[in-house]
Amino acid sequence: MNRIAVVPGSFDPVTLGHLDVIERAAGIFDEVHVLVVHNPDKQALLPIAQRVQLLQRSIADARVAGSITVAAWSVGLLVDYCTEVGAHVLVKGIRSQVDVAYETPMAIVNRNLAAVETVFLLPNPANAHVSSSLVRQVAALGGDVSPYVPRAVYEYLKET
Ligand code: PNS
């Protein structure tokens, strides 16, 4: 049986913490779909297509092993995408109790909607403080985000 997992998120932009979770998921599942989803609760920095491109470049640069597809989803529920590609598992990274509180209701709703389970992975503690919102803020104020993001993201943010 081909075990397919979806790693969803805003990825605005992808961070080293995200990349770590993607790499771990690719080591566990036969196929991983990294899915960029628009989150209306967040003020976006990058267009969705740019986030997809930066994810593709970052995954390629990091030479992440495994079958990984990067896609975007904006037409409905996250579980609809899972059904479309035959995935029964979502993978999320958990950095803290705050993440547990944020992720738990979504995991329960997704399971109720379409029997899609959520697997939580503990990323490298070195990335525990890294978030896209922090990167957006530091970048907007002219700070150095190189310790937190893949090279492709660092270069893109430097140029814009
Ligand atoms: O990186 P984020 O912003 O924390 O990711 C949150 C995201 C985009 C995964 C979440 O908002 C989501 O799943 N949105 C899709 C809409 C949906 O299916 N909602 C109902 C179940 S939670």
Helices then strands, counting H and E runs in the chain, come out as: 6, 5
What Å distances lie between residue 28 and 24, 41, 56, 70, 89, CA to CA?
Answer: 7, 31, 20, 17, 11
Give residue 94 CA to ligand 1 midpoint distance, Å. Answer: 15
pLDDT in tens, 119-134: 999 999 999 999 999 9
**Entry pTM:** 0.97
pLDDT of residue 44: 94
Average pLDDT over residues 67-90: 97
- 23, pLDDT greater than 90: yes
The number of C-alpha atoms within 13 Å of 109 and in the hemisphere containing its C-beta is: 9
For ligand 1, is residue 37 a contact (CB within 6 Å)? yes
Assess whether the C-beta atom of 106 lies below 6 angstroms from ligand 1: yes
For 100, phi and psi rounded to 5 degrees?
A: -60, -45
Ligand 1, residue 8: give the atom nearest the CA.
Answer: 9
- 98 forms beta bridges with none
Cα–Cα distance, 108 to 64 (Å, whole number): 30
Q: What is the DSSP letter of 41?
A: T
pLDDT at 75 over 90: no
Which residues are part of the catalytic machinery?
A: 18, 42, 95, 132
Give the pLDDT band of residue 1 (cuts 50, 70, 90). confident
Q: Extract the tokens encoding 35.
A: 């899915």
Judge contact between 74 and 32, C-beta under 8 A.
Answer: no
CA distance 81 to 92: 16
pLDDT band at 160 (very low <50, low <70, confident <90, very high): confident
The SS3 assignment for 38 reads coil
